[in-house]
Amino acid sequence: MASCSYTSAAMSVLCVRVRRRFSPVAGQPQRLALTRTRTARHMVVTCAAESSSSTRTSCKTIVTDEEFSLAKVSFGTIGIALGGSLLFYGFGAYFTILPGSEWSALMLTYGFPLAIIGMALKYAELKPVPCITFSDAQALREQCATPILKQVRSDVTRYRYGDEQHLDEALKRIFQYGLGGGIPRRNAPKLEMIREEVTEEGKYSLVLVFEAKALQLSDFEQRQPKFTSFFGPGINAEIRKGENDLYEVRLVSQTAT
């Protein structure tokens, strides 16, 4: 009985404390309503910010280039692989390690030149630069990009043979290698990647990202008119400094949608 009385008393004290804690006091309904209003406003602002952020993210989705083209295939690698396979099987058949000894001479005859041509192409090969394309820029490319911008994008995203670097002729004219007011050829900027994006004004732009360890931002800025005239007409060149030794030349199309 004593235990039951003690338990009942404890429960009574606990209930009183709970009532006191949650009982309304003067001014509490107003403060509670104000708190709820502020919370609702915060939720609305948060939802609006998340919606705006999701919209920007959807516009900035990177598009994967799945278009197949022979220009994007390394003929040097194909020549070495095909020629090496013929040589390997031809020697194996010649020494009767592999079947088909009657074809060994033919495989060796074609295998040698194919392997040599493949190695020569591989030596003179210039790999394509990476291209980052955003979905909104891809939608504007066909109707807003100038023919020259399309050609530049096509040239630098395919394998080339015999060229020292991408856009070599353009950079030679713009920076005037070895001439008065120009730069030494050893200091020439190197194209690292390109990027297709849409400006804040809704215009299509092709961004050329160069690495130039021996140049300054002023070297690019003073040649901004030359970039505009060389890659024009119908574009406006903008110069920006990237991270480390990277410089961005933004070729903005002036063609309206």
Gyration radius of the chain's alpha carbons = 34
Both 219 and 238 in a single domain?
yes
Same domain, 101 and 176: no
Range of the domain at 152: 131-253
Kindly state whether residue 213 falls inside one of the protein's structural domains: yes
Which of 73-109 are b and which e, b meaning 16 or more Cβ less than 10 Å from the residue's Cβ? ebbbeebbebbeebbebbebbbeeeeeeeeebeebbe
Q: Which of 123, 139, 160 is at the close of a domain?
A: 123
Domain check: are 135 and 119 in the same one? no
Residue 233 preceded by cis peptide, ω within 30: yes
**What pLDDT was estimated at residue 220?**
95
| Domain count along the chain | 2
145 and 238 fall within a common domain: yes
Return the pLDDT at 246: 96
Q: CB–CB of 187/178 below 8 Å?
A: no
CATH of the domain at 176: 3.30.980
Burial class (CB in 10 A: 0-12, 13-18, 19+), 167: buried
**Is residue 14 situated within a structural domain?**
no
CA–CA gap between residue 169 and residue 226 (Å, rounded): 13
Residues 154 and 113 in one domain: no
The 3-class SS string of 131-145 reads EEEEHHHHHHHHHHC
Q: Round to whole Å and give the CA distance between 255 and 215.
A: 32
pLDDT tens, 203-217?
Answer: 999 999 999 999 999
Cα distance between residue 91 and residue 84, in whole Å: 11
Residues whose CB falls within 8 Å of the CB of residue 131, separated by 6 or more in sequence, listed in order: 65, 153, 156, 157, 193, 194, 195, 196
Residue 104, pLDDT score? 87
Query: CB neighbours of 246 closer than 8 A, spacing ≥ 6?
Result: 192, 209, 210, 211
82 neighbors 118 (Cβ within 8 angstroms): yes
- As to burial, measured by CB atoms within 10 angstroms (0-12 exposed, 13-18 middle, 19+ buried), residue 240 is middle
pLDDT values of the chain reduced to their tens digit, one per residue, 257 residues? 333 333 343 344 334 343 444 344 444 444 434 344 444 344 433 333 343 333 343 457 888 776 677 778 899 999 999 999 999 999 998 888 888 888 889 999 999 999 999 999 999 999 999 999 999 999 999 999 999 999 999 999 999 998 889 999 999 999 999 888 899 999 999 999 999 999 999 999 999 999 999 999 999 999 999 999 999 899 999 999 998 899 999 999 998 77
Q: What is the pLDDT of residues 106-165, one digit of tens each?
A: 999 999 999 999 999 999 999 999 999 999 999 999 999 999 999 999 999 999 998 889
